[in-house]
């Protein structure tokens, strides 16, 4: 198995740099048979880049993450946990990172996740700090 970083995935998904995008697509197709490890941190960075740099909507980002999770050869640690976070992000408020942190905490027996973030208050798994 080999790992991919955020920039590589951005080039493949966005295609904004023709030379780097072509190289990234070639790299992915060359290595998918070995398994391409995509860490949860890479997914969080990817969401941030797609939103902040490319102004992609929540729906577009959900579609991208769904695509990555269903692509053969892509290996994401604790994939079900990531899928649960994605489902919460898809239907709720807050950022993908918030929901991933909440799911990871829950998996380790730490729930709810205490937060000052008002957008998360009232959501399952989050506790308001006053």
Position 88 in a domain:
no
Q: What is the pLDDT of residues 84-112, one digit of tens each?
A: 999 999 987 899 999 999 999 999 999 99
Amino acid 121: pLDDT: 87
| Integer Cα distance of 120 and 127 in angstroms | 8
Sequence-separated contacts (24+) of 65-69 with Cβ below 8 Å: 65/96, 68/9, 68/38, 68/43
Amino acid 14: pLDDT: 93
Identify whether residues 10 and 70 lie together within a single domain. yes
Identify whether residues 19 and 54 lie together within a single domain. yes
Identify whether residues 19 and 45 lie together within a single domain. yes
Structural domains in the chain (count)? 2
Identify whether residues 103 and 58 lie together within a single domain. no
| Integer Cα distance of 127 and 55 in angstroms | 29
Range of the domain at 72: 2-77
Identify whether residues 41 and 101 lie together within a single domain. no
Is pLDDT above 90 for 10? Answer: yes
Identify whether residues 117 and 57 lie together within a single domain. no
- Mean pLDDT check: name the lowest of 34-38, 74-78, 124-128: 124-128
Q: What is the pLDDT of residues 37-76, one digit of tens each?
A: 999 999 999 999 999 999 999 999 999 999 999 998 999 9
Amino acid 12: pLDDT: 94
């Amino acid at each position: 198995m080999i790992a991919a970083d955020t920039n590589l995935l951005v080039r493949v998904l966005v295609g904004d740099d023709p030379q780097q995008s072509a190289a990234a697509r070639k790299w992915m197709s060359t290595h998918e048979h070995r398994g391409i490890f995509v860490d949860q941190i890479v997914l969080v960075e990817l969401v941030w880049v797609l939103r902040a740099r490319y102004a992609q909507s929540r729906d577009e980002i959900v579609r991208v993450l769904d695509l990555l999770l269903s692509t053969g050869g892509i290996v994401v640690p604790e994939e079900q946990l990531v899928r649960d976070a994605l489902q919460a992000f898809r239907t709720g408020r807050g950022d993908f990172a918030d929901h991933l942190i909440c799911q990871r905490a829950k998996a380790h027996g730490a729930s709810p996740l205490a937060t000052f973030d008002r957008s998360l208050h009232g959501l399952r798994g989050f506790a308001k700090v006053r």
